[in-house]
Chain A
């Protein structure tokens, strides 16, 4: 079955530690996205990528980094510079615009907490 796989489901970060969240898709989508979800604030865009080896900052990129070396994969690293990393992280993918009929497909998320 085609879909988006995020791992791990739960992750704990120690002070000063970088952690990497995995996102893999087999939907043959060009575009991939990372969102952060906090209670009462909805989803906010961290980074997005339209094509391999290219990515852009979203609204809250500080303290995060990404890479897009393969079409199927878009890992997110939460660095020690992110002082409030506790949140639910969601990865999504879609066909690239300008086709307006293409919804974004989401993974099941990774919940990150601070130890």
Chain B
């Protein structure tokens, strides 16, 4: 059974610091891996999606890497800002029933960026 773990559960950093969030998964047979952001009381916003054949994806100050063989992904946030404060969730996608991606979520990392 696929399990997704995120470490740390919570992180507080001063503004401007570069930081890394970690995600690990137990079964390397994934379809893709996604990183999401969730603000309090809100839905999820997709940040980056890495297909199983890719090693990394970049969007602005965000860079996500994927190492399937070791079951790990990292989300790197450069020059953090108070507006980056949110919960960050990673999810791996399993292909089943021929057509639909099923997402298995980690429990998230709560990030606080102090001004």
Partners in one complex: yes
A residues lining the B interface (CB < 8 Å): 4, 6, 31, 33, 35, 40-45, 48, 50, 56, 58, 90, 92, 94, 96-98, 100-109, 111
Closest approach, in angstroms, between the C-beta of B95 and any C-beta of chain A?
A: 6
Question: Which residues of chain A come closer than 8 Å to B46, judged between CB atoms?
Answer: 103-106
Would A90 and B44 count as touching, CB distance under 8 A? yes
Confirm or deny: B83 has a beta carbon within 8 angstroms of a beta carbon on chain A.
no
Question: Which residues of chain B come closer than 8 Å to A4, judged between CB atoms?
Answer: 43
**Interface SS of chain B:** strand
Question: Which residues of chain B come closer than 8 Å to A58, judged between CB atoms?
Answer: 102
Question: Which residues of chain A come closer than 8 Å to B51, judged between CB atoms?
Answer: 100-101
Partner pick for B100 among A40, A97, A103, CB 8 A cutoff: A97
* Chain A residue nearest in CB terms to B52: A100
* Chain B residue nearest in CB terms to A109: B43
In the complex, A90 Cα to B42 Cα: how many Å? Answer: 9
B residues lining the A interface (CB < 8 Å): 4, 31-32, 34, 36, 41-46, 49, 51-53, 89, 91, 93, 95, 97, 99-103, 105-108
CB pairs A–B below 8 angstroms (12 shown): A31-B101, A42-B105, A42-B107, A48-B100, A50-B97, A97-B99, A101-B49, A104-B34, A104-B44, A104-B46, A105-B46, A109-B41
* Chain A residue nearest in CB terms to B90: A42
What total of A-B pairs shows CB separation below 8 Å?
75
Partner pick for A104 among B4, B52, B53, B103, CB 8 A cutoff: B103
In the complex, A100 Cα to B31 Cα: how many Å? Answer: 7
* Chain A residue nearest in CB terms to B106: A42
Among all A-B residue pairs, the 3 with the closest Cβ atoms: A106-B43, A103-B46, A42-B105
* Chain B residue nearest in CB terms to A49: B100
* Chain A residue nearest in CB terms to B46: A103
* Chain A residue nearest in CB terms to B35: A103
Closest approach, in angstroms, between the C-beta of A110 and any C-beta of chain B?
A: 10
In the complex, A94 Cα to B91 Cα: how many Å? Answer: 15
Would B101 and A94 count as touching, CB distance under 8 A? yes
Other CB < 8 Å A-B pairs besides A101-B51, A106-B43, 13 of them? A31-B101, A33-B103, A42-B105, A42-B106, A42-B107, A50-B99, A90-B43, A96-B100, A100-B32, A101-B49, A106-B36, A109-B42, A109-B43
